[in-house]
Amino acid sequence: AQTVTQSQPEMSVQEAETVTLSCTYDTSESDYYLFWYKQPPSRQMILVIRQEAYKQQNATENRFSVNFQKAAKSFSLKISDSQLGDAAMYFCAYNGAGNMLTFGGGTRLMVKP
Amino acid sequence: KAGVTQTPRYLIKTRGQQVTLSCSPISGHRSVSWYQQTPGQGLQFLFEYFSETQRNKGNFPGRFSGRQFSNSRSEMNVSTLELGDSALYLCASRRSSGGVTKNIQYFGAGTRLSVL
């Protein structure tokens, strides 16, 4: 079974600065997808960014980028120019052959003005 | 395009009762998955439906069941409610065929179930 680990329960960042959230996963599959989802207090789960395992190039979406290290099974999220609206729970998720998402425990990100 | 719609948003039930939650996927999405979110266990996969058939099931007791209709709308049922069933239940839909976005799951706002 696949597992996803987020080792930082809480992170804090100053507005306009950069923060990196960590995620590691364990799998024996070679073809899979990785996602970062954001869950604000409204509880709506919002897709932030996705990465296909077969792609070597790291995904980027505006201020959000990932560092995907397939051999190390690491998938970190970097948020640049942090904004107050970025404050939320962030979940790393794995999607393999079963098409079900396996989530990490989440990282609560606080943004200080 | 409308997003994933879950109803109701909030529910309060007592132990032993049963409950039915509803999920309408994004138009054109044929796969619907359900997840349970609790402070203790985090986010856990319940089951996935595609074309009215259950394709995958997580590690939950038989009290948790679901179904999908021909219009892809899905319902989830929990019978003989227990206090531990109090949770946020999230539904997600995905296109499941064609294109680079077929594996992206889009979530609804969830149904908050409280069991007293």
Determine whether the interchain pair B56/A100 forms a contact, defined as Cβ–Cβ distance below 8 Å. yes
Instruction: Calculate the CA A43 to chain-centre distance.
Output: 17
Instruction: Let me know: does A66 contact A36? Beta carbons within 8 Å.
Output: yes
Instruction: Calculate the CA A65 to chain-centre distance.
Output: 9
Name which of B42, B56, B88 is nearest A98 (Cβ-Cβ): B56
Q: pLDDT higher for B20 or A1?
A: B20
Q: How would you label A6-25 residue by residue, b for 16+ Cβ within 10 Å and e otherwise?
A: bebeebebeeeeebebbbbb
Instruction: Let me know: does B27 contact B1? Beta carbons within 8 Å.
Output: yes
Token output for A98: 């079963």
Mutation target to probe the B interface, by most B beta carbons within 10 A, among A45, A47, A50, A54 is A45
Name which of B42, B103, B109 is nearest A44 (Cβ-Cβ): B109
* A24/A69 Cα distance (integer angstroms): 9
Q: Report the gap between the CA of A111 and the closest CA in chain B (Å).
A: 22
Determine whether the interchain pair A47/B104 forms a contact, defined as Cβ–Cβ distance below 8 Å. yes
Residue A2 has pLDDT above 80, yes or no: yes
Mean pLDDT of A93-111: 93
pLDDT, position A99: 81
Mean pLDDT of A69-91: 97
End-to-end Cα distance, chain A = 41
Determine whether the interchain pair A101/B48 forms a contact, defined as Cβ–Cβ distance below 8 Å. no
* A105/B39 Cα distance (integer angstroms): 9
Mean pLDDT of B43-63: 94
* % of chain B surpassing 90 pLDDT: 89
pLDDT, position B101: 67
Name which of B45, B96, B109 is nearest A42 (Cβ-Cβ): B109
Strand A107-112 relative to strand A10-14, pairing: parallel
Residues of chain B with C-beta less than 8 angstroms from the C-beta of A42:
109
pLDDT, position B100: 62
pLDDT, position B98: 65
Q: Report the gap between the CA of A27 and the closest CA in chain B (Å).
A: 17
Q: For residue A46, what are the β-bridge partners?
A: A38
